[in-house]
A and B are shown apart, each in its own frame.
Chain A
């Protein structure tokens, strides 16, 4: 790779360090608002409001204590419940569908595949009114089940497309070999296919979890107190506690932490999930 002449290698090295600096600078600029949120969460309220931003301060856990005592717990639980159960539901529905669209494709698999993605293009606002009225008439307003059902529908198309892309990567020979060896369809699924696509399933569930955890529009309109999730808590927190940056940052940090961790873990698969399996 490195050119043989001395002068070029020196220029090469200089270029490289400029490259490194540039990349790091960009990374820090983009990450700064997040970093600042976390830092502010550990500040006393007085240190959050200074004309010259304070980078050095004595950290305190006061804000986190205040957030917990203001009752974030049930909201965190609601968010966790809605995300996890809706993800499981989406996967249970998506896995067989993805199978029928890849390994043993049904006749009009193209149409089915595009039906799924076209529902993603339908703006939520177009359906929110009847959904709201139906949920109200069923007495399911402010119920966690409502969010679970809707979040599963929101993530199902992504899960189908993504899982399908993982199924397509399973070498056909392996499945054929299993069939020749006399494996039943069920054995073929559980003993051969499933273990091979397990990493794919993990990645898909992380993507579904991220989207449901961050969802705001449906939660805002369909829940009020009992089933309200974390983003709804944040809105209420501002109205009830006032706009205190440090306390707010502590609440926001707690709200973002699970998804940040999940996203960092799944970053190799993130692009695949977001592009619904089109980009690997």
Chain B
């Protein structure tokens, strides 16, 4: 799509001289400042609060307690369970969404009657408000008596099942996969469509079958897009809250309590500012470790796409 006339990255690096440097820099400042104030400053306070014992229900209860909150976090079984749930949920959702997204993208990559409409229908789950998705699936789809899934399964002799309470993790993951498959599909589809037709034609002329072509030409080409899909999907999915809130409230027990939901419970249902802040800091520390790896990967992915687009 991007023609040869496209501006290559960093090509305009005609190093700004001192007086013009500020003229170049000022347009960037408002946005930077805004992000620092709104997203970084609160985090500094989170760190401060994490060293205090402070319950909102008892005003004036705040006092410094050093690392006690952190000690609690690391000896807290509920935290460990939330962390495991978080990993399980994210990995399952990303993996299944990608596993479905690839074949769907391949289906859409060819011309067929009504392709535009089919594509529109397929992306719709992603546009549905996540709160509604949770609600919709919990009721009309997965209800043991009146739900569509129960009805369809009854054709095969499966007795009515209360999916959400018997298989809470699978139910939540199903909804997440339903929502995120279109996302993966769109990214993979973009990858497929950016393949050069000449190369595929050449492979065909050389006598390569569809499978050989896919395995040795399409798949290596897609790798970058698959990485990108997994990475971005994971970034969005670790913050899953809405669907859990609507479907299971973290339950039964703590079966579907992931980290965001756990922090929410501690802060807004337990009003425990100190403890919840320590949880928040630990979550961020974990995220930074993962993100450092992810960012490096992302950078190669991004510069890769830009190079190929230039």
Contact = CB atoms under 8 A, between A and B. Distances in A.
Given A26-B122, A259-B129, A271-B190, A153 B39 contact: yes
Contact of B11 (A118, A122, A172, A267): A172
A280 B190 contact: yes
Contact of B228 (A51, A213, A217, A275): A275
Contacts of B190: 271, 275, 279-280
A119 B39 contact: yes
Nearest to B189: A271
Contact of A125 (B12, B178, B283): B283
A270 B186 contact: yes
A24 B305 contact: no
A254 B238 CA distance: 28
Given A231-B131, A245-B140, A279 B121 contact: no
Given A19-B112, A27-B121, A126-B46, A121 B294 contact: yes
A152 B37 CA distance: 12
A170 B302 CA distance: 19
Interface stretch (B68-76, B161-169, B212-220, B273-281): B273-281
B113 A20 contact: yes
B281 A126 contact: yes
B127 A30 contact: no
Interface in A243-268: 243, 245, 248-249, 252, 255-256, 259-260, 262-264, 267
Contacts of B263: 125-126, 128
Interface stretch (A59-67, A70-78, A131-139, A197-205): A131-139
A232 to B, nearest CB: 9
Given A33-B137, A274-B232, A126 B280 contact: yes
Given A30-B181, A104-B12, A271-B187, A280 B1 contact: yes
B30 A126 contact: no
Contacts of B178: 30, 33
Bin chain A's interface residue count: 35 or more
A53 B148 CA distance: 7
A134 B260 CA distance: 20
A173 interface: yes
Contacts of A130: 41-43, 45-46, 49, 277
Contacts of B110: 19
Interface string A6-31: 00000000001001101110111011
B309 interface: yes
Interface string B286-310: 0100010011001101100110010
B209 interface: no
B242 A94 contact: no
Interface in A206-232: 210, 213-214, 216-217, 220-221, 230-231
A29 to B, nearest CB: 9
B283 A115 contact: no
Contacts of B281: 126
Given A106-B28, A245-B139, A118 B295 contact: yes
A114 B295 contact: yes
Given A24-B118, A255-B132, A274-B187, 18 more contacts: A33-B137, A50-B146, A53-B151, A123-B283, A124-B239, A128-B280, A129-B277, A130-B43, A171-B5, A216-B241, A217-B239, A235-B246, A245-B139, A259-B127, A260-B124, A264-B123, A271-B190, A274-B186
Interface of A: 16, 19-20, 22-24, 26-28, 30-34, 36-37, 40, 48-53, 93-94, 96-97, 99-107, 109, 112, 114-134, 149-150, 152-153, 156-157, 160, 168-173, 210, 213-214, 216-217, 220-221, 230-231, 234-235, 238, 243, 245, 248-249, 252, 255-256, 259-260, 262-264, 267, 270-271, 274-276, 278-280
